[in-house]
Chain A
Amino acid sequence: MWEITQGLLSGFDAALTPLYLFYALAGTILGTITGVLPGLGPLGAMAILLSFTLKMDATAAMILFAGIYYGAMYGGSTTSILLNIPGEAASVVTCIDGYQMSQKGRAGAALAVAAVSSFIAGTISILGLTVVALYLSDIALRFGPSEFLAIGVCGLMFLIRMTGGSLLQSLIMTLIGMALGTVGIDFLTGAERFTYGINELGQGIEFLPVAMGIFGIAEVLLSVQGKEVPKSARKVRLRELLPTRKEWKRSIPSMFRGSFMGFFMGLVPGPSPIIATFVSYFTEKRLSKHPEEFGRGAIEAVAGPEAANNAAVGGAYVPLFALGIPFTPAMAMVLGALMLHGLTPGPNLMKEKADLFWIVIASMYIGNFMLIVLNLPLVNVFVNILRVPQRTLMPIIVLLCLIGVYSVNASLLDLLLLAIFGFIGYVLRRAGFQVAPLILALVIGPMIETSLRQALKISGGNLAEVVFRPICLSMYVATLLCFTVPLVLKWIRHR
């Protein structure tokens, strides 16, 4: 305990230099910009800056990247709330209620709650990072294919039940998402699936064009159609910018719950941060006193998932620092930066270059703090974006979606997919389907399939061996309880 405090103090001492503060600020600003612009994201920003960081020292590079990551997470939420366009998979859930709040004129409140949520989550997860990295780093290693399968399957259960409305519709959306995820070259055998000779489909259907299409383009189409509530053109009063006291009261517990969920899921490999967001949504809905508001603009539905996705960032750093294993492409970038500076993360790094570790931790706090300082005043600016007349804003959004998608992989196919899914999203949403499960299943489906096949291969086809393991079993049982207990309670009450 003392060791931690000492480390933190020395870290802050070293981090509060003008140079490092500058990098923290630069990182968060850059991250926010890339988070807001569709397509680029933290990975793109880091990739571009990687060579630039060669000229800096390792600590500065780490600080810059951490700032970018957090900034991008926050920027992604901004577009989710204001425009119903998720920056990345972890922001999709924020779209659901965040956008609804925005439609009702509560955009400022949603943004503010998202900002504070992210800040609290960031703080909790960094604290967690400090503690866990030193003592519990081996947790990540306990997760192999069977465990990933468990995470995926349980997450899927939550996903299907997450959004309100017809279970059947939700199921169909999820299945379609998973089916789309099977398109491409089968990773485990090399066989082509559903590619019909189109070479570019070999890499599969990417999340980004589908998300931008189903959310972004479809949104534009719906606005043109006139099916969306016209955005208010009058000047927004300050009072409306901030959440009411009641809203704060409702959000705060959600923020904490989401933070813990996000952090622990971030420790684990794979798209766990994404899963954390919808587990959080589901939990908040179950625990809320106003469950009927979910899907129509419940503040907890923004606070919880936002906290979860930010906390997952801190969680993801744990395996990187403690074991040297990156679990997301963005972390791989951070790893690359470290290696280019001659540092190999792992338990040794923590011991030898403990000072680096503490400075980075301290900077993450600082970056997190800067984010809220930067973004709360900007809430006003962001909300005013909504006041731009539709006829100008919509084409700009479409163009940004197009360019953003292209900027990732320079793929013309991605652009066509954007248009196709824009149409599909438009049609589905007009028919009353919730599209969030589709896009999330697209991400999780492949993980489930790959883990299933890997686990079965390792166990020689023995399904029991795959399911009856301590970690897996606890997850399956917990999930089952989450679903059956409320039903049982309802049944008892009726008696």
Chain B
Amino acid sequence: MKKILCVLLAVLFVTAFWGCPLWAAEKYPDKPITFVVPLGTGGMTDITARLLAEKFKAELGQPVLVVNKPGANGLIGIKYALGQAADGYTVIVSILTDNFAAPYFQEVEPLNIKDLAFIGSYMPQERVLFTPPDKPYKTFQEFIDFARKNPGKISVGSGAVQWALEVVKSIAVKESLKMKYVMFKSGGEASTAILGSHVDACETGTGTPAYQAAREGKLNLLVNLGKETVPFFPQTKNLKQLGYPFYTIVEYGMAVRAGTPEPIVKKLTETLKKVSQDPEVKEKMIQMGLTPRFLDGKAFEVLIQDTVKSVPELIKYNKAVQEG
């Protein structure tokens, strides 16, 4: 009896162990794909990833599972994904521009562009500086003047994007302002803070509760920290227009591990393009205040390169910042 058991055990062990590629991938995909979201469940990335996952499933005919691996501004999830096989079955869905910027702020080893093969991006997000309507300053210029006359009084919050806060600091450096800077854990938390007037101004992204409140007139928009137009607020200027040296680039996209076969990357890009241009997807995103926009792998990589170039410069520039 024991002998039979041992043999059975051995067989089980061996077959499970080899995880063998007998079922070779002639046609991609022939097994479920995993979307790795290196950010928390319920956040903007997670929700859009799940929306896309559903559509990818319809297009590719295989289930798409979404796995959250949050932490360290996305580094944990990305490192995890890079440790998987480069076979196209593990796809990173994230704010890749921010993931590349984060290590510089945390003073850790930065990610290497060459480690990833970029599939494409599906959505830019603008980071906007909001302020409650009862403040004495209603426009960006008034805000700067007020801050200059009242050094050390203004508090500025951030919805968990260090880069955006640093861009605000760079404005302060350029205009010689002295302000107080506070970081919040999420766009939601920052929204509560600004709606309750616990800070004087706050940057957070489109799609967050603060943004939705602004659409109803509960908050004023001072300036867009990015370089494009803000949906529903075409009159808000952005930092690039105004001639400031730095601005945020927040782009949501997908990537796989470098070394993934070309045809698979191409197939994923095509699928992303098709899905992000799907009318239902577009409609849902626009209603949320997001801008669906597809950029292919190459264009996305260019954005990342811009990021990697400008962030260290931003950090150097900000050494002159005065904190209240």
- Chain A residues with CB under 8 Å of chain B are 43-44, 47, 50-51, 54, 140-146, 184-185, 187-188, 190-192, 199-200, 202-204, 269, 323-327, 329-333, 335-336, 339-342, 344, 346-348, 408-411, 450, 454, 457-458, 460
Closest partner residue, chain B, to A327 (CB atom): B188
20 sampled A-B residue pairs with Cβ under 8 A: A43-B42, A47-B46, A50-B47, A140-B192, A141-B192, A141-B195, A144-B196, A145-B193, A145-B198, A185-B72, A190-B107, A191-B107, A200-B71, A202-B76, A203-B72, A327-B188, A329-B42, A339-B288, A410-B67, A410-B80
CB distance from B281 to the nearest CB of A (A): 10
Q: Which residues of A contact B283 (CB under 8 A)?
A: 342
Complex Cα–Cα for A285 and B73 (A): 43
Which of these, B51, B209, B284, contacts A51 with CB under 8 Å? B51
Complex Cα–Cα for A185 and B196 (A): 28
CB distance from B33 to the nearest CB of A (A): 14
Complex Cα–Cα for A269 and B195 (A): 13
Complex Cα–Cα for A454 and B159 (A): 13
Q: Does B287 contact A (CB under 8 A)?
A: yes
CB distance from A149 to the nearest CB of B (A): 12
Report whether B212 and A344 are in contact in the complex, using a CB–CB cutoff of 8 Å.
Answer: yes
CB distance from A380 to the nearest CB of B (A): 35
Q: Does B233 contact A (CB under 8 A)?
A: no
Report whether A336 and B54 are in contact in the complex, using a CB–CB cutoff of 8 Å.
Answer: no
Report whether A342 and B284 are in contact in the complex, using a CB–CB cutoff of 8 Å.
Answer: yes
Closest partner residue, chain A, to B105 (CB atom): A190
Known contacts A336-B46, A340-B51: A326-B188 contact under CB 8 Å: yes
Report whether B41 and A43 are in contact in the complex, using a CB–CB cutoff of 8 Å.
Answer: yes
Report whether B53 and A51 are in contact in the complex, using a CB–CB cutoff of 8 Å.
Answer: yes
Complex Cα–Cα for A332 and B209 (A): 11
Closest partner residue, chain A, to B216 (CB atom): A348
- Using A329-B42, A409-B67, A454-B183 as known contacts, list a sample of 4 further A-B pairs with CB atoms less than 8 Å apart, ordered by residue number in A: A47-B42, A142-B196, A145-B182, A202-B75
Report whether A325 and B191 are in contact in the complex, using a CB–CB cutoff of 8 Å.
Answer: yes
Which of these, B46, B102, B195, B289, contacts A323 with CB under 8 Å? B195
CB distance from B24 to the nearest CB of A (A): 25
Q: Binding site of A, secondary structure by majority: helix, strand, loop or mixed?
A: helix
Report whether B76 and A324 are in contact in the complex, using a CB–CB cutoff of 8 Å.
Answer: no
Residue from the set A191, A339, A341, A450 with the largest chain B CB neighbour count within 10 Å:
A339
Q: Which residues of B contact A332 (CB under 8 A)?
A: 41-43, 188
Q: Which residues of B contact A342 (CB under 8 A)?
A: 283-284, 287
Q: Which residues of B contact A43 (CB under 8 A)?
A: 41-42
Q: Does B133 contact A (CB under 8 A)?
A: no
CB distance from A320 to the nearest CB of B (A): 9
Q: Which residues of B contact A329 (CB under 8 A)?
A: 40-42
Q: Which residues of B contact A185 (CB under 8 A)?
A: 71-73, 106
Complex Cα–Cα for A184 and B289 (A): 33
Chain B contacts with A in 57-95, Cβ cutoff 8 A = 57, 66-73, 75-76, 79-80
Report whether A458 and B185 are in contact in the complex, using a CB–CB cutoff of 8 Å.
Answer: no
Report whether B40 and A460 are in contact in the complex, using a CB–CB cutoff of 8 Å.
Answer: no
Complex Cα–Cα for A389 and B283 (A): 56
CB distance from B188 to the nearest CB of A (A): 6
Which of these, B57, B180, B195, contacts A460 with CB under 8 Å? B180
Report whether A203 and B80 are in contact in the complex, using a CB–CB cutoff of 8 Å.
Answer: no
Q: Which residues of B contact A54 (CB under 8 A)?
A: 51, 54
Report whether B198 and A458 are in contact in the complex, using a CB–CB cutoff of 8 Å.
Answer: yes
Q: Does B50 contact A (CB under 8 A)?
A: yes
Complex Cα–Cα for A142 and B192 (A): 9
Report whether A204 and B47 are in contact in the complex, using a CB–CB cutoff of 8 Å.
Answer: no
Q: Does B108 contact A (CB under 8 A)?
A: yes
Chain B contacts with A in 18-47, Cβ cutoff 8 A = 40-43, 46-47
CB distance from B152 to the nearest CB of A (A): 7
Q: Does B181 contact A (CB under 8 A)?
A: yes
Complex Cα–Cα for A348 and B53 (A): 30
Q: Which residues of A contact B215 (CB under 8 A)?
A: 344
Q: Which residues of B contact A339 (CB under 8 A)?
A: 47, 207, 284, 287-288
Q: Which residues of B contact A200 (CB under 8 A)?
A: 71, 76
Complex Cα–Cα for A457 and B43 (A): 26
Known contacts A43-B42, A410-B80: A324-B72 contact under CB 8 Å: no
Complex Cα–Cα for A426 and B212 (A): 49
Q: Does B189 contact A (CB under 8 A)?
A: yes
Report whether B185 and A450 are in contact in the complex, using a CB–CB cutoff of 8 Å.
Answer: yes
Closest partner residue, chain A, to B152 (CB atom): A460
Complex Cα–Cα for A347 and B41 (A): 25
Report whether B196 and A143 are in contact in the complex, using a CB–CB cutoff of 8 Å.
Answer: yes
Complex Cα–Cα for A333 and B53 (A): 16
Report whether A203 and B71 are in contact in the complex, using a CB–CB cutoff of 8 Å.
Answer: yes
Report whether B183 and A325 are in contact in the complex, using a CB–CB cutoff of 8 Å.
Answer: no
Residue from the set A47, A146, A335 with the largest chain B CB neighbour count within 10 Å:
A47
Closest partner residue, chain A, to B34 (CB atom): A410
Report whether B212 and A324 are in contact in the complex, using a CB–CB cutoff of 8 Å.
Answer: yes
Q: Does B213 contact A (CB under 8 A)?
A: yes
Chain B contacts with A in 185-203, Cβ cutoff 8 A = 185, 188-189, 191-193, 195-196, 198-199
Report whether A191 and B106 are in contact in the complex, using a CB–CB cutoff of 8 Å.
Answer: yes
CB distance from A190 to the nearest CB of B (A): 4
Report whether A202 and B155 are in contact in the complex, using a CB–CB cutoff of 8 Å.
Answer: no
Q: Does B137 contact A (CB under 8 A)?
A: no
Q: Which residues of B contact A410 (CB under 8 A)?
A: 67, 69, 80
Report whether A460 and B47 are in contact in the complex, using a CB–CB cutoff of 8 Å.
Answer: no
CB distance from B114 to the nearest CB of A (A): 20
Complex Cα–Cα for A199 and B79 (A): 9
Complex Cα–Cα for A200 and B73 (A): 12
Complex Cα–Cα for A51 and B43 (A): 15
Report whether A199 and B76 are in contact in the complex, using a CB–CB cutoff of 8 Å.
Answer: yes
Q: Does B162 contact A (CB under 8 A)?
A: yes
Report whether B180 and A457 are in contact in the complex, using a CB–CB cutoff of 8 Å.
Answer: yes
Complex Cα–Cα for A190 and B288 (A): 30
Q: Which residues of A contact B69 (CB under 8 A)?
A: 409-411
Q: Which residues of B contact A457 (CB under 8 A)?
A: 155, 180-182
Closest partner residue, chain A, to B186 (CB atom): A332
